[in-house]
């Protein structure tokens, strides 16, 4: 796995925006999760089908056309779908069958998925259909390429998939968009596809036999949601480690829980990486392995340090909380990389071996598994930071920082009517509780549907949406934690303690200082929270 901790807060794509990049689809090329992120966020990234792929696609399509002409029974091509597979379809009606398939699956529910996810979904679907086993035409792939390069993305409703025979209903919105129907995102607006096509002189595509099924049988929507969430979870892990280091500095915590030798004795890779990042951001860590007290001058006259041989678990065990999330994400990224580079429709055609294979690659079990595994780990990250926030705002636990982070030195007698971060802590607690509540697995809620044909389903799309929802709750918890750290340095000693931070921590603290103005008189902080989320997560802005 890429070492995410080598990145700073500047987005990867920002540094590449001046370059004109091309992502090649087909051949020996493997589409990576970071490639998807680069395309979604960088308007200078184009998509190009490998020219050597055309011969493979055309031969595979000719093989299928010959079978149709010979009136062979081919599921979903010369038969009906699912429980209706006993219906026989004449070759003359085979193309109309695909149009009907797209039409009757136009029953998505809820808000449209964010534009970024719709973009990722279309790119992933192109990559899956371009493997040469789906029976699609070269012209279909070129229409997908055209939409991607014009940055026209099908507007896909969020709800309506059980993730079994693929993301049938949501992926129908790709098929419809290719044909100039329904709605698309274009230049940040949702517009009728027909209007956008007319404006850009794009000819609507007419689906050939099998092509509607090739588009709709697949896991690309759940993968699109997962991929975009993974990219932000990486950021969340990085930020959390940086903020834990600043938190340890604020409360004059010990460095021993993060010492390399500690983690060599329990060498989980994610735990080691998280501990190392925290340790390298502590000032003079080798001199802080045991108990260390502030002097009277550091701590404040008339105040006493509480004796603490060991720090609380939310401090001492932070690598053991964040580490499992990082290790689970590492596994999840490998699984999803396999999924987005797979052939996952049905039936499959191997023209070289004269095989027509009916199977279940459209089943989203692997996507459900990784998303369900990440959900509690991500929610636990919120729980960790929310507990640290609880310590930070409590002068009985934080080593003498003013209660609720009230700026008492600035307020004088008015300090008694100001309450600082009291309500913000409640917000963090509410967000954390909701994240934890949504962390239960979705994959165990299989439902029998579609006239008993789909008698076991993955629920992978809902699992991916659950993960995205938890992420939307965790991000403001991270933002509130960051705001509290910046506030705490101010109310402790007007940022005097920040001058003792090492170079790495100081660089991050200066960013937080730019992002958030300390609270003196009580003020609403809803916009502060929203702004901090946008500042900390600048690369992939996902919205509900």
Instruction: Enumerate the active-site residues.
Output: 75
Q: How far apart are CA 26 and CA 109, in angstroms?
A: 33
- CA separation for the pair 436, 473 (Å, rounded): 10
Closest residue by Cα to residue 438 from 531, 510, 371, 357: 371
The reply to whether omega before 199 is within 30° of 0 (cis) is no
Q: Which residues of 238-273 are buried (b: 16+ CB within 10 A; e: fewer)?
A: bbbbbbbbbbbbbbbbbbbbbbeebbeeeebebbbb
Q: Which single residue is written with the structure tokens 């008189």?
A: 521
- Are 119 and 153 in contact, with CB atoms under 8 Å apart? yes
Residues 67, 70, 71: CA angle, nearest 5 degrees:
90
Q: What phi, psi does 241 have (nearest 5°)?
A: -65, -40
Tokens of 151: 């940055």
DSSP-derived secondary structure letter, 88: B
Q: What's the rounded Cα separation, in Å, for the pair 389 and 30?
A: 42
DSSP letter assigned to residue 108? -
Q: Which of 430, 463, 429, 433 is nearest to 446 (CA)?
A: 463
Closest CA to 322 of 481, 508, 460: 481
Beta bridge partners of 348: 357
The residue assigned the tokens 């093989």 is 63
- H/E stretch holding 338 reads helix 318-340
């Amino acid at each position: 796995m890429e070492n995410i901790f080598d990145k700073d807060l500047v987005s990867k794509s920002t540094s590449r925006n001046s370059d004109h990049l091309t992502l090649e689809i087909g051949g020996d090329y493997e589409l990576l999760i970071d490639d998807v992120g680069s395309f979604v966020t960088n308007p200078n990234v184009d998509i190009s089908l490998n020219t050597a792929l055309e011969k493979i696609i055309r031969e595979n399509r000719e093989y299928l056309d010959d079978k149709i002409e010979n009136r062979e029974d081919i599921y979903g091509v010369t038969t009906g779908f699912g429980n209706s597979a006993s219906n026989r379809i004449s070759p003359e009606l085979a193309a109309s069958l695909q149009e009907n398939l797209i039409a009757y699956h136009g029953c998505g529910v809820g808000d449209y998925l964010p534009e970024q996810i719709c973009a990722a979904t279309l790119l992933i679907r192109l990559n899956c259909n371009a493997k040469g086993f789906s029976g699609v035409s070269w012209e279909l792939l070129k229409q997908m390429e055209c939409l991607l390069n014009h940055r026209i993305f099908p507007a896909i409703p969020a709800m309506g998939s059980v993730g079994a025979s693929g993301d049938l209903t949501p992926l129908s919105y790709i098929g419809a968009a290719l044909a100039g129907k329904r709605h698309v995102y274009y230049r940040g607006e949702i517009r009728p596809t027909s209007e956008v096509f007319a404006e850009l002189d794009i000819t609507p595509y007419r689906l050939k036999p099998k092509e509607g099924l090739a588009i709709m049988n697949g896991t690309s929507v759940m993968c699109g949601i997962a991929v975009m969430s993974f990219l932000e979870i990486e950021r969340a892990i990085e930020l959390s480690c940086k903020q834990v280091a600043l938190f340890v500095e604020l409360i004059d915590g010990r460095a021993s829980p993060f010492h390399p030798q500690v983690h060599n004795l329990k060498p989980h890779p994610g735990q080691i990486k998280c501990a190392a990042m925290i340790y390298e951001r502590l000032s003079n860590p080798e001199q802080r392995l045991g108990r260390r007290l502030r002097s009277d001058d550091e701590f404040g006259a008339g105040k006493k340090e509480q004796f603490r041989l060991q720090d609380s678990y939310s401090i001492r065990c932070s690598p053991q909380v964040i580490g499992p999330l990082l290790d689970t994400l590492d596994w999840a990224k490998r699984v999803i990389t396999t999924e987005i580079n797979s052939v996952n429709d049905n039936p499959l055609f191997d023209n070289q071996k004269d095989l027509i294979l009916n199977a279940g690659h459209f089943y989203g079990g692997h996507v459900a598994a990784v998303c369900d595994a990440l959900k509690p780990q991500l929610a636990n990250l919120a729980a960790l930071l929310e507990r640290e926030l609880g310590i930070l705002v409590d002068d009985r636990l934080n080593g003498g920082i003013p209660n609720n982070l009230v700026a008492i030195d600035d307020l004088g007698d008015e300090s008694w009517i100001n309450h600082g971060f009291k309500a913000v802590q409640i917000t963090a607690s509410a967000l954390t509780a909701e994240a934890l509540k949504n962390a239960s697995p979705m994959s165990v809620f299989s439902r029998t549907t579609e006239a008993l044909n789909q008698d076991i389903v993955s629920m992978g799309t809902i699992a991916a949406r659950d993960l995205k929802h938890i992420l939307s709750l965790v991000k403001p918890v991270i933002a509130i934690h960051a705001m509290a750290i910046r506030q705490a340095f101010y109310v402790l000693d007007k940022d005097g303690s920040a001058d003792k931070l090492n170079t790495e921590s100081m660089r991050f603290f200066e960013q937080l200082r730019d992002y958030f103005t300390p609270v003196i008189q009580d003020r609403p902080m809803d916009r502060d929270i929203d702004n901090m989320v946008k500042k900390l997560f600048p690369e992939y802005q996902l919205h509900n």
